[in-house]
Amino acid sequence: MADLCRQTIFCDLASTLQDNTGYDQWVDGFRSILYYGRANRKMFFHIFFSDYRSSLMTALDEYSHNIIRKAIRRCADDSRISVSSETINFMSDFYYFVFIGVIRQDISTRFSSDPEQILAGCQVTMESSIQKSLMKFAAAGK
Amino acid sequence: MADLCRQTIFCDLASTLQDNTGYDQWVDGFRSILYYGRANRKMFFHIFFSDYRSSLMTALDEYSHNIIRKAIRRCADDSRISVSSETINFMSDFYYFVFIGVIRQDISTRFSSDPEQILAGCQVTMESSIQKSLMKFAAAGK
């Protein structure tokens, strides 16, 4: 049963998120994760409180990292900002830590916050920050 | 022995960090944590690989949250930006997730990165971002 739940949630997330990988689409990708847990609350917490918690969290970690990494690469390409792969890695980690921190907090409060409010806050703090940071790294030759 | 180590590391960190709570001083506070682990590597990992790991991580979490929260409050006060306590809480969590993510990654790689390089990267991504985000939240009446 746990195996089936796990397989389902991972497949669902994979198909929900596969198209949300453009620069501006990190918001949609992030939204998908926040809403997926809410729409599948019972199954989600069934897995979360089972032996498969670490598999679930690893999957969420990987999806989050994937979304944010592609968003940063897309932003650099679209704006023709040339930075090293180390900078892309550093920035991917930086925003990934935010993503996964917000998601873990959301899970720990049992999805009690308004997902749109979470997203709006993240957009304010992240939206122009990614491009500006890339430009600053590029100006410093990093 | 573990008790003594734990008490020592917590007292040391508390005294190292207590003065690093101004806006621009989040860098110094963050630097203190990164260098403290390196200067006390043996004791640090002794605690990290003991039953006291969760106490150590909780202490680091609290210090990090404290530093970043004070930095955001100071930034808002100094720039006379008026935002709600919810916004201060949201932004404190946002940057705290980055801090603790970077620290956990640093521990997991056994302090193999150059701490000044970590700090420089965080400064590029965070420096103007805190003030600009506060201004955007204030403009939205949040």
Residue range A105-135, pLDDT digits in tens:
999 999 999 999 999 888 888 877 888 889 8
**What distance in Å separates residue A85's CA from the closest CA in chain B?**
14
Find out whether B72 and B102 touch, Cβ atoms under 8 Å.
no
Q: pLDDT tier at A9 (50, 70, 90 boundaries)? A: low
Decide if B98 and A100 are in contact by the 8 Å CB cutoff.
Answer: no
Average pLDDT, chain B: 84
- Residues spanned by the domain of B38: 2-139
d(CA A77, CA A73): 6
Highest mean pLDDT among A16-30, A59-73, A91-105, B46-60: A91-105
- Chain A nearest-CA distance from B135, in A, is 10
| Number of independent structural domains in chain A | 1
Write the ipTM.
0.83
Per-residue pLDDT reduced to its tens digit, B36-92 = 889 989 988 988 998 888 888 888 888 888 888 888 998 899 889 999 999 999 999
The label of the residue with tokens 């990708």 reads A29
Q: Is A88 exposed, middle or buried (0-12, 13-18, 19+ CB in 10 A)?
A: middle
Please tell me which residue of chain A has the smallest CA distance to B90: A121
pLDDT band at B130 (very low <50, low <70, confident <90, very high): confident
Q: How many Cβ contacts (< 8 angstroms) between chains A and B?
A: 61
